Structure 1
Amino acid sequence: MLPFQKQVLTEVVTEDGLLIMSPGLGIFQILCHLVQVYSGGNHLILLINTSKEQDELLQEQLIANGVSSQHVIRHIEYNTPAEKRSSMYRESGIFSITSRILAVDMLLDRIPTLLINGIIVYNAHRPEAFVTGFAPLQNTMKSLFLRKVHLWPRFQITVSEDLAKTDNNVVELRQPMSESMDIIQQSLVQCMEETLAELRRANPSIDVGEFTIENSFFRSFDAIVRRQLDPIWHRVSSATKRLVSDLNVLRQLLGYLTTYDCVSFYSFIETIIASNSAQDGKQIMQSQWLLHESGDRAIRAARKRVYVKQGEKEFDELPERQDGSVIPGHIKLVLEEQPKWQLLKSILAEIEQDALQLNDGEGAPILIMVSEKRTCSQLKDYITRINEEEPFLNKIAHTFFRWRVNIHRMQTVEPVKQAPAPATMRGKPPPNKRRRVRGGSTSATSSGGRSMIMAETFRNDVIDNISALDDDITDEADQDGQDDEFHGVGPLADSYEIQYNQNDILSSFKEIPSTSLVTIQCYEDDANEQVLQDTQPRFIVLFDPNPAFVRQIEVYRAQHPTVDIRVYFLLYENSVEEQNYLSLIRKEKESFERLIHEKSIMAIPLPDKRKQRQEDDIILRPSTRIAGGQVKAVSGPQIVTVDMREFRSSLPPILYADGIQIEPFTLQVGDYILSPDMCVERKSIADLIQSFHSGRLYTQCEMMSVSYKTPILLIEFDENKSFSLQADIKENIRATDLSSKLVLLTLHFPKLRIIWSSSPHETAKIFSELKKAEPEPDSKIAACIGAEGNEDGDTIYNMTPQDILRSMPGINSTNYRFIMNHFEDLDELFHSNQQTLQELIGLEFGRKLYNFIHKKYTK
């Protein structure tokens, strides 16, 4: 460890606190050493908020540092039995656990809280997140019950001195963009400026100070816009919502301009155009930037990078040529390569020449860092085809034109006919599944961004086709003859040459020397440090800029002062890529400056002196079950039975903080049990809409109505969003509207009560008020309701008719008892009417049972 890292570790071990470091300064390494400090001895340490990949990497680091396998991290997962978890805690150790499981185990006293020596919360912050709102750092410290914050920016004196001790051999190469790329970038930026201006004009009542063109280049801009518009989202026009979506698409296009090849970039534009076209004669609201002159200029420039037309006919109208090519004769391919590709080619040639001179005829390990897996895959193919005469993008272009013809067919197909399955999809895996490519790379899907602008069926078909285009690119890359022999392009895991035969794999393996290894790797946060340690590169090429990795190289150099490393830093000159890189550095510096200022003036949180709950406390609350609502003395706090799955939400901790005793159980019916008669099913707005679509809500309400006297549907809003459903209510009422579905739900279930809550905090108050007049629930009984196989051992019923009854449609392990208690025998059941059955077991179950009983038998 470097001196500043040792100082950070000492501060964290000495006193509880919140640690905030600049990205790339080795926070994962500090985590490894912090865990290692407590790996020996009788310690109970809880590690929260780490991913599975981080846990595996942490395990490898601990073992590499000499930690015994008996003292490495132990994992508590969802399938770990409760009894085993309880015994594991008492054996001590370091446990990686989710916050949901930890909360449940603490509430049920499965974990000895008095024996816990420490809790480590990883991935808990980003510096920029602490500079929004009122006193964010102070409020965070108060919530965590911490009094110390450790701030370690890059410009801290100790950090700067430690990282300045080595010579920085950095070659910065600013690559000009091509003329067409420059035109596209200027046009897209102009489209963003016009869209932002229109957004400001359409919403003059909101604070648009952060609605700047610089902020719009970052993904965080979406959160900025939604934070401003969420409180009035139900009053926002559809045009404004379209503008917000357009900004997201334009930002993606600016990013894809420098990372995608010209064919993939233009295919994405074609997808956007197709999604904005009228379908089946229905007009849709188009993206305004497509109608601007700047938008048209960007589209034409993107097309000219791929091909130019030499005639007037559209290539969609022409049949395939006799030679089998899908490219019509009047189309001339241009296939402009990314300028950085040629620059990388020259860098690799220079590295090869220098490495041979420095190492007496031997090469040197090379590390190329990129931002996307798609770029990783393409660079691997490009490097292996450097000496080929055929243009690298030729096969990708052929795939694009096949896809384009299929899109044209889908647009012109008659509405009553189903669009034919695209040719590019035949024999392929589903488009949302990515295939593994040699070199540790995968073709990155872009469907996530596209789905925001394509909601209709046709739009989804377009996405499937462009995903199929990606798959075809990958398949053709795999079938280009490179499978015969592959020499070391890819991550370190592929550092062995594997020779393939047409029928089987030969048993001979030849190790590739590390000096001939070229590793192409994506930026992966914590894994980057391990990549540097594993590959030990002499030459590093930053194909895409990344401030955090630049610092990781600085740290690696400081840790290995004798290793001479040359770094090539590639950047498109006067580009949005360059602007984003500089803005990230500036924003981080400003964020730390604000944190340092707030730390100097904030009030230090004092320990919260909460009143200890005493078992003999008496809580008086009125009970309507006693004549006239007299006051009934109830011992202990209020109790709510909570379904285990609800601990993913924020409501259970809020209930606990309000003094309500939480009893976690796995519930088959409902999410919260307030009393023996009162069951609550909680739904957020998104979950409510999805449950209506799937029909799950109908089943849930029916089960609650059968099992409880007072079934309740809780519709809970986000406290940061508008407390209104008006955005989902149309001028013309239809049966498919959300409001109509709610009305139908209440008509089907007259006992159902609906609670509208503006936030989880308001829900906690509502629950407390509802429970004042109700007895406490029995959690064990609530957990048995709706569960299979919970029958008593002794029964007074005849088992033969019982088995016959339970085999009928509409009968389950819960409602069969209602039927047996109401009818004397099966004959009385068969002569009952449908209304009686529906009153007993619910509308849908009653209908199924009645139809089955009265169904006429036909030979």
Structure 2
Amino acid sequence: MILEYERLALKEVEEQDGLCIVGKGLGVQRIISKLVDNLCQQQKLILGLRFSKDWLHSLEQWFLVNQDIEPHLYPREIDASYSRAERQSIYHLEQGFLVVTSTILVHDLLLKVIPAEKVSCMVVNEAEFLVDDSRIECFIIRLLKEQNKKCSIKAFSERAEWFTRGFHLVEKAMRNLKVTKLYLWPRFRVEVDQCLLKSSGQLVELEVRQTPKMASLSKAILEAMGACLVELKRRNKSIDVSELDIQNALFKSFDFVILKQLEPMWHNVSSYTKQLIRDLRTLRNILTFSTKLNCVSFFNFLMAITQSEDTSKSHWLMSKTGEKIFTFAKSRIYVKSKDNKDLERKEKKPKFTSGSSIPLDMKVILEPSPKWSVLHSLLQEIRAKTNGEKWDEMLSMGYGCRVIIFVKDVSTMIELSEIVKDAKAPEEYLRKEFQKLMKSRDEAIARAKRLLAKEIADSENFYGIEPEPVDKENVQEKTGMDLASYCSDEETLGEKDSSRNLSLQVPDIEIVTLEASTESRKGLEVLESLKPRFVIIYEPHNCLIRQLEVYQNEFTELPLEVFCLVYENSVEKDKFEKALEYEAHSFERLIREKENMVVFVDDEHSNVDQNREDTSKFGIVEVGTLNRDSRKIGGRIYVDMREFRSKLPQLLYDTGAELIPVTLSIGDYILSKSIFVERKSLSDLTSSLQSGRLFSQVQQLCRHCRFPCLLIEFPPGKSFLLSSFSELVKELNPISVLSRLVLLTIHFPLLRLIWCHSEYFCGSVFAALKSSEPIDELPEIDSLVQNDTDSKEYDNYSAVDLLLQLPGVHERNVQNIVNKFNSIQELCNADEDELETTFGSNNAKIFYEFVHSTAPNLYEGQFK
């Protein structure tokens, strides 16, 4: 069953191809599922792009519930486990929904394995990624439309903000998708609003008051962030400061705003400015975890930051504000003992427990989260309500469980599973965590470091603006207890009163994790499968709230009460409201852009002409003779399958080259028998030099071709430098990138370096190199994909390298030597006549005299 506005959105997309952008939580997965269902009923071949395994599982569940189509038409994922013949047989069935891996689909389209003319429709999920024309999905759509002009494209997205982080990004996405219509379905659209208001249900927002220590801690972190912003503005006068404020700094997209402005001048940016940007990211993570983690885990998290190499030069750590942050964090765990004032006067230095930074003269104050007590009270109230009703009657009405508690990550789920058991559970849980801290501090800090690394990795997604999960700690200060009482045996900590246990062992309470990657599907799926009577949103979640609205309108016969826990006057609430405002603002901007949009026209010859015009501006076409008609005279290039993730293969395709996708074991591009190219981006170059992988790769190139090339590709729009001027002096050491690159060129003098500031210039260089080579001269690909078993040369490269260093051995006779002798020992034991048959007379004599001559003792007589 789909709602009325979902039916209208589906009708629009079915009538004409286009890009459909739906608000978060409004059921884009249901629209896609119904669309695929309708297309499969027509028994046509449909392809899917950017569908994960979880998505496919959701589609399968949809088909199982609705039972509209036959099982052989259910969605199927085609990956590398299928052989070429198996894929070809599946394609020629010409029916069903196939989600093919992007690299496999490029391979099959280029080599005509898939009958493109039989593809009826392509459904694109997560269309926001296609704003970048270098994506492999853009190349797939282009190849498909060139081979089948009648193939329809249906694209969907629920991240409107991604299309507003630049200039006319929605137009670029539509051009890459080859569609002409834009369909917008925000929450404030009349059809959506009227539909969801029919059964709005009951939503109660419970504002939880923060503890004074928590409020002071958040204030100190915000002060540190404000100081970093002031310093960033003062040292960089050329950047736009309109968006550099505290409110924007709370979101991960703030990093994208700063870096986008600094990228063109990154080579002139000082190391101090770069450190400020890193500090802002670190402080944002601290602000998030200050309320998300319990007091013990957060203290561990701070200790991990102080021991991290990345923060060794952080200026906020040495400031008074940084000292406040650590002081407030410690005050949530322990306070000074009033009984030990005399001890403090007598001893200048406090005594510490072994392996910790907590003095012995302190009393432990483990401050629980205010949400824990509110959650307990709420569950008690729910239990009282449900006890008044007969649960059997509720089950007969259609309910599946009593309560669902939604959280944002697994760690919070594990924590709450311990907390909600009984009233004493929070205290016992914190005692356990504190005991772990005291006994295994190194392991605890290691876990905190992993948590920090994960959050930093997640923050690289600069577009995400979802409100961070925040849960604040308790205001109640327990009377101090001696440290020894918290270091007691674990057995005493495990004793609980089972009579007061609010049981999780019965299927009445479910704690469900909604991670960012699955939030658009999992929330509604859980609600539809469990059918709860009460829902508790432990952390504010705008996507989940809308999914609850959809669920209530779908199951109007099942009353639902929803409780949302949010901190009063907190950053958590500000981020939640800001995210809603930002999405609404993004849709409003898209509506204005739609009115003045330049519509893409899918003309039969416009793509080729436009690409020729674009590439000619960068000198690609004029360099050589590579045009669309030159394939018959030698425009073939072997391309490694993994390289299709970059834009360079698309540009080579524009020049008229015939791309042959293979899985190469040597190099990334093979232009001819004598020119092999290994491509490295800046990040890949650094890691390859550090690990030594590039050395072995270049060694392989030098063995198989005369002109091995290393292509160093710089990101477009960034500085054309390996290191900034401010860091150039620091980089001049034996382990720097520049030093290792110099050593690489010294060790392999045949290696050519190609420095490319953009993909367009790469295409120009490739065209020039290709034009200088004989037509249709490419090596046998079998020897480059797998080991050549007919030649002994590839069995032992170290022995061949040793042979080439010996007198009388050179490239012309080394292969004969390898084929004749089985080992170095057998070669050295051969007589001169036997050597002449493989070396030749002169070379055999040189080698024989070198092997059998007596080496002089250079140190004779020196130590008498």
- Using the size of structure 2 for normalisation, the TM-score is 0.78
CA contact (8 A) 1:538 1:566 kept: yes
> By how many angstroms is 1:483 displaced?
15
Matches within 5 A, 1:661-740: 661-727=658-724, 729-731=728-730, 733-740=732-739
The 1:387–1:297 alpha-carbon spacing in structure 2 relative to 1, beyond 3 Å, is: closer
Taking the aligned partners of 1:588 and 1:40, their CA distance within structure 2 comes to 35
> By how many angstroms is 1:810 displaced?
3.6
Matches within 5 A, 1:533-612: 533-610=528-605
- Which residue type is aligned with residue 246 of structure 2? I
Q: Does 1:116 align with 2:119?
A: yes
Matches within 5 A, 1:470-509: 480=494
Q: Does 1:186 align with 2:178?
A: no
Q: Which residue of 2 aligns with 1:344?
A: 375
> By how many angstroms is 1:685 displaced?
0.7
Q: Which residue of 2 aligns with 1:376?
A: 413
Q: Which residue of 2 aligns with 1:197?
A: 230
CA contact (8 A) 1:366 1:537 kept: yes
Comparing 284-293 with 174-183, greater Cα deviation is found at: 284-293
Which of 619, 637, 657 is residue 640 of structure 1 equivalent to?
637
Q: Which residue of 1 aligns with 2:514?
A: 522
CA contact (8 A) 1:823 1:829 kept: no
- Which residue type is aligned with residue 71 of structure 2? S
Q: Does 1:218 align with 2:215?
A: no
Taking the aligned partners of 1:53 and 1:380, their CA distance within structure 2 comes to 25
Q: Which residue of 1 aligns with 2:768?
A: 769
The 1:603–1:483 alpha-carbon spacing in structure 2 relative to 1, beyond 3 Å, is: farther
Unaligned runs of 5+ in 2: 129-158, 395-400, 460-486, 610-619, 805-810, 831-846, 855-864
Taking the aligned partners of 2:499 and 2:39, their CA distance within structure 1 comes to 47
Matches within 5 A, 1:415-494: 445-449=451-455, 480=494
Structure (1 or 2) with the greater helix fraction? 2
Taking the aligned partners of 1:731 and 1:683, their CA distance within structure 2 comes to 23
3-state DSSP of counterpart to 1:384 = coil
Taking the aligned partners of 1:540 and 1:314, their CA distance within structure 2 comes to 55
Taking the aligned partners of 2:402 and 2:30, their CA distance within structure 1 comes to 24
CA contact (8 A) 1:622 1:773 kept: no
> By how many angstroms is 1:691 displaced?
0.9
CA contact (8 A) 2:422 2:502 kept: no
The 1:647–1:193 alpha-carbon spacing in structure 2 relative to 1, beyond 3 Å, is: same
Q: Which residue of 2 aligns with 1:42?
A: 43
Taking the aligned partners of 1:656 and 1:79, their CA distance within structure 2 comes to 27
The 1:446–1:704 alpha-carbon spacing in structure 2 relative to 1, beyond 3 Å, is: same
Taking the aligned partners of 2:174 and 2:458, their CA distance within structure 1 comes to 36
3-state DSSP of counterpart to 1:366 = strand
Q: Which residue of 1 aligns with 2:142?
A: none
- Which residue type is aligned with residue 383 of structure 2? E
CA contact (8 A) 1:620 1:634 kept: no
CA contact (8 A) 1:355 1:362 kept: no
Q: Which residue of 2 aligns with 1:330?
A: 361
Taking the aligned partners of 1:61 and 1:432, their CA distance within structure 2 comes to 40
CA contact (8 A) 1:367 1:521 kept: no
Taking the aligned partners of 2:62 and 2:491, their CA distance within structure 1 comes to 35
3-state DSSP of counterpart to 2:678 = strand
Q: Which residue of 1 aligns with 2:437?
A: 400
Deviations 1:88-138 (A, max 9, x none): 111132111222211111001110000001111112222112113222222
Q: Does 1:4 align with 2:41?
A: no
Taking the aligned partners of 1:308 and 1:620, their CA distance within structure 2 comes to 74
Deviations 1:172-216 (A, max 9, x none): 111111100100111111111110111111211222322221111
Which of 263, 266, 269 is residue 299 of structure 2 equivalent to?
266
3-state DSSP of counterpart to 1:785 = helix
Q: Which residue of 2 aligns with 1:75?
A: 77
3-state DSSP of counterpart to 2:127 = coil
Q: Which residue of 2 aligns with 1:16?
A: 17
Deviations 1:713-761 (A, max 9, x none): 0000111322211236335722212111111111111111100111222
3-state DSSP of counterpart to 2:307 = helix
CA contact (8 A) 1:715 1:757 kept: yes
The 1:31–1:315 alpha-carbon spacing in structure 2 relative to 1, beyond 3 Å, is: farther
> By how many angstroms is 1:316 displaced?
8.8
The 1:789–1:539 alpha-carbon spacing in structure 2 relative to 1, beyond 3 Å, is: same
Which of 90, 101, 104 is residue 101 of structure 1 equivalent to?
104
Q: Which residue of 1 aligns with 2:402?
A: 365
- Which residue type is aligned with residue 579 of structure 1? D
CA contact (8 A) 1:621 1:772 kept: no
Root mean square deviation, CA, Å: 3.9
Identity %: 32
The 1:638–1:476 alpha-carbon spacing in structure 2 relative to 1, beyond 3 Å, is: farther
- Which residue type is aligned with residue 188 of structure 1? I
Taking the aligned partners of 1:641 and 1:395, their CA distance within structure 2 comes to 60
CA contact (8 A) 1:674 1:776 kept: no
Q: Which residue of 1 aligns with 2:652?
A: 655
Comparing 51-60 with 707-716, greater Cα deviation is found at: 51-60
Taking the aligned partners of 1:154 and 1:818, their CA distance within structure 2 comes to 76
CA contact (8 A) 2:623 2:764 kept: no
- Using the size of structure 1 for normalisation, the TM-score is 0.78
Taking the aligned partners of 1:326 and 1:201, their CA distance within structure 2 comes to 37
CA contact (8 A) 1:43 1:117 kept: yes
The 1:583–1:831 alpha-carbon spacing in structure 2 relative to 1, beyond 3 Å, is: farther
Q: Which residue of 2 aligns with 1:506?
A: none
CA contact (8 A) 2:623 2:768 kept: no
The 1:355–1:779 alpha-carbon spacing in structure 2 relative to 1, beyond 3 Å, is: farther
CA contact (8 A) 2:624 2:771 kept: yes
CA contact (8 A) 2:372 2:426 kept: no
CA contact (8 A) 1:638 1:660 kept: yes
Taking the aligned partners of 1:204 and 1:533, their CA distance within structure 2 comes to 54
Deviations 1:644-692 (A, max 9, x none): 1212222222322343221111212110011221110000011111111
> By how many angstroms is 1:150 displaced?
0.6
CA contact (8 A) 2:631 2:657 kept: no
Unaligned runs of 5+ in 1: 278-283, 407-421, 434-443, 454-472, 491-496, 498-511, 625-631, 793-801, 833-848
CA contact (8 A) 2:673 2:779 kept: no
- Which residue type is aligned with residue 562 of structure 1? E
The 1:807–1:266 alpha-carbon spacing in structure 2 relative to 1, beyond 3 Å, is: closer
CA contact (8 A) 1:663 1:779 kept: no
CA contact (8 A) 2:351 2:361 kept: no
The 1:273–1:759 alpha-carbon spacing in structure 2 relative to 1, beyond 3 Å, is: same
CA contact (8 A) 2:608 2:654 kept: no
- Which residue type is aligned with residue 353 of structure 1? A
Length, aligned pairs only: 734
CA contact (8 A) 2:538 2:565 kept: yes
CA contact (8 A) 1:639 1:776 kept: no
